[in-house]
Amino acid sequence: MRKANVLMDRDFAIGHTDPRLFGAFVEHLGRCVYGGIYEPGHPTADEKGFRRDVLDLVRELGPTIMRYPGGNFVSGYNWEDGVGPVEERPTRLDLAWFTTEPNTFGTNEFMDWCKAAGVEPMMAVNLGTRAGDAARNLVEYCNHPGGTYWSDLRRKHGWEKPHDVKFWCLGNEMDGPWQMEYKTATQYGLVAKEAAKMMRWIDPSIELAACGSSARNMPTYGRWEDEVLEHTFEHADYISLHTYLNNYKGDTASFLASPDLMDNFIDEVVAIADGVAARRRSTKRIMLSFDEWNVWYRTRRKRQDRVKEGWPIAPPILEEIYTMEDALAFGGACISLLNHADRVKSACLAQLVNVIAPIMTETGGPAWRQTIFHPFAQMSKHGRGKVLRAQVESEGYDAEYYDPRGQQELSFPVSNVAYLKVAAVSDEKGGLSLFLLNRDVKQELEASIDARGFGALTVEEALELRHDDLQAINSKDAPERVSPAPLEGVVVDGGKVRVTLKPASWNVIRLAPR
Ligand code: AHR
């Protein structure tokens, strides 16, 4: 059996988790909107066409903020197509996913859905085929109370009160050649800066996220962030990061090591952002918006998984079926995000329903939880509070993570990957939540945790997520196959906790003051 020691102190904190750290993402992509959150005629649909069974699962999942309407989709989107009387809205070709967009769901429907789901909206503007003018009009449409062309149009459309959207993304993945009208860092920086200026002139209370690199393996990574922030530093509050973890090679050890590269990615972007601040002798700190993250690879590389011929409406694309193994890597990513609570102030699990998603639906049929649903729901429920600096002493292993870019085979060495990955979050009542990932797929791991400054603790709840078969999945017919189960044998003595973690397991222990 492996052994690991973890030491933390109630007073030694990384930072507080911002509620926006627990966000997700709805894009006009495949069956995320149509057949996902919105399906008029479905047996559970409400009078607005929102699936109530999906809403129930969304509430259980616990996202706090929802990014919309894309993604790649937003870079060709005319937001005006999605407002006003539905029968007058145009049907358009979407060049992001080669589908037909009926526009029966748009900005106002999304705002209503956010209210029903109890989440904050996060809007992205099109800085691909469009620019500052369309962006500032959208802010006026959404946030201005009335008495102007765009705000009165909203009122005429039936939404009297402003939507008051606070968080805005300045485009999406503008460094990527797959994006409609992608740009160099100079081109994007200038467009983003001008859009940001006008958007904020309309509503000074909004917060703005500039696009960072669409992945850490992009050829322009690093230089992109530096130049974009050079242009937008005075106007942006956040820089974005995107990561999709993969196991193309069937190399479980490297896959489970890959969240550590998210740690590096975050640290590097923080360094670049602070470098831009340093050049200005500025005390302003640009925060990070990790506004797309997940596991995604099975439905990523082959065109037939991404594109269905004939320009269909809402085809089943990117419907990744998640395994137990994916849930472990995903849980590692949750830990990485929590452990950067000081700078990652917003993050969005990409996406919410059907499309690389924790929730799956059958059109006309039921909805169920994928394996990755569980670590996210637990993180959102128990990850609110002060993240403690947990010092982990654990044996490690070396891995080589393969992360191709286009036709280029790239791999990244990760050395001394700790078998135990940990995040610890304390709450105001003196409780402590431990998130523990045992990355050893063969051996149990005995973790001895010394939680200093807490006094005597007692176990409130302890759960593990594991399965003998790492390829186990949940499905319509077996929706509970991979589900949390009680984690037995947690021994607490004062502030010391000892527990044996099963091989390849994700574990959450909730401790309360005795
Ligand atoms: O989430 C799926 C896609 O991944 C998004 O549309 C895009 O931003 C990213 O490349």
DSSP characters for 217-235?
Answer: T-TTTTHHHHHHHHHHTTT
Structure tokens at 68: 């919309």
The domain spanning residue 288 has which CATH number? Answer: 3.20.20.80
CA of 72 to the centre of ligand 1 (A): 6
**Domain total for the chain?**
2
pLDDT (tens digit per residue) in 73-87: 999 999 999 999 999
Averaged pLDDT for residues 253-274: 98
- pLDDT over threshold 90, residue 407: no
Tell me the CB-side half-sphere exposure of residue 201, using CA atoms within 13 A. Answer: 11
What proportion of the chain, given as a percentage, has pLDDT over 90?
98
Same domain, yes or no: 415 and 322: no
- Looking at 39, 80, 173, 325, which residue is catalytic? 173
Structure tokens at 303: 């065109």
Please confirm, yes or no, whether 292 is among the known catalytic residues. yes
Tell me if 212 sits within 8 A of 228, measured CB to CB: yes
Last residue of a domain, one of 384, 408, 431: 384
Which residue's CA is the closest to the ligand 1 atom numbered 9? 71
Same domain, yes or no: 225 and 107: yes
Which residue's CA is the closest to the ligand 1 atom numbered 4? 71
Same domain, yes or no: 375 and 393: no
Strands 287-295 and 344-349: parallel
Same domain, yes or no: 193 and 165: yes
Peptide bond into 358 cis (omega under 30): no
pLDDT (tens digit per residue) in 277-330: 999 999 999 999 999 999 999 999 989 889 999 999 999 999 999 999 999 999
- pLDDT over threshold 90, residue 103: yes
Tell me if 371 sits within 8 A of 413, measured CB to CB: no
Question: Which pLDDT belongs to residue 437?
Answer: 98
Strands 167-170 and 120-125: parallel
Atom of ligand 1 nearest to the CA of 350: 1
Same domain, yes or no: 396 and 452: yes
Last residue of a domain, one of 384, 408, 430: 384
Same domain, yes or no: 177 and 267: yes
DSSP secondary structure string, 54-113?
HHHHHHHH---EEEES-SGGGGG--GGGGSS-GGGSPPEEETTTTEEE--SS-HHHHHHH
Please confirm, yes or no, whether 464 is among the known catalytic residues. no
Atom of ligand 1 nearest to the CA of 27: 6
Question: Which pLDDT belongs to residue 406?
Answer: 83
Same domain, yes or no: 132 and 48: yes
Axis-axis angle for helices 259-279, 324-338 (nearest 10): 30
Same domain, yes or no: 282 and 398: no
- Cα–Cα distances in angstroms (integers) from residue 367 to residues 110, 358, 359, 381, in the given order: 20, 11, 7, 21
Averaged pLDDT for residues 406-422: 94
Same domain, yes or no: 362 and 400: no
Peptide bond into 351 cis (omega under 30): yes
pLDDT (tens digit per residue) in 21-31: 999 999 999 99
Question: Which pLDDT belongs to residue 15?
Answer: 98
The domain spanning residue 501 has which CATH number? Answer: 2.60.40.1180
Question: Ligand 1, from 25, 27, 127: best to mutate by most atoms within 8 Å of Cβ?
Answer: 27
Residue 506: other Cβ atoms inside 10 A: 29
CA of 157 to the centre of ligand 1 (A): 30
Same domain, yes or no: 322 and 456: no
pLDDT (tens digit per residue) in 191-204: 999 999 999 999 99
Which residue's CA is the closest to the ligand 1 atom numbered 6? 71
The Cα–Cα gap between 166 and 229 comes to 21
Averaged pLDDT for residues 49-65: 98
Question: Which pLDDT belongs to residue 305?
Answer: 87
Q: Which domain holds residue 462?
A: 2-10+388-513
Those residues whose C-beta lies under 8 Å from the C-beta of residue 510, and which sit 6 or more positions away, are 382, 431, 432, 433, 459, 460, 461, 462
Same domain, yes or no: 365 and 416: no
Give the mean pLDDT of the chain.
Answer: 98
3 state DSSP class of 204 = coil
Question: Ligand 1, from 28, 173, 295: best to mutate by most atoms within 8 Å of Cβ?
Answer: 173
Those residues whose C-beta lies under 8 Å from the C-beta of residue 407, and which sit 6 or more positions away, are none
Q: In terms of Cα–Cα distance, which of 348, 351, 301 is closest to 322? A: 351
Give Dmax over CA atoms of the chain in angstroms: 70
Q: CA 233: distance to chain centroid? A: 24
Question: Which pLDDT belongs to residue 327?
Answer: 99
Last residue of a domain, one of 384, 407, 430: 384
Same domain, yes or no: 368 and 262: yes
3 state DSSP class of 52 = helix
- The ligand 1 site (C-beta within 6 Å) comprises 27, 70-72, 172-173, 214, 292, 350-351
Which residue's CA is the closest to the ligand 1 atom numbered 7? 71
DSSP secondary structure string, 127-191?
-SS--HHHHHHHHHHHH--SSSHHHHHHHHTT--S-----EEEE-S-TT-TTSTT---HHHHHHH
Question: Which pLDDT belongs to residue 501?
Answer: 98
pLDDT (tens digit per residue) in 214-242: 999 999 999 999 999 999 999 999 999 99
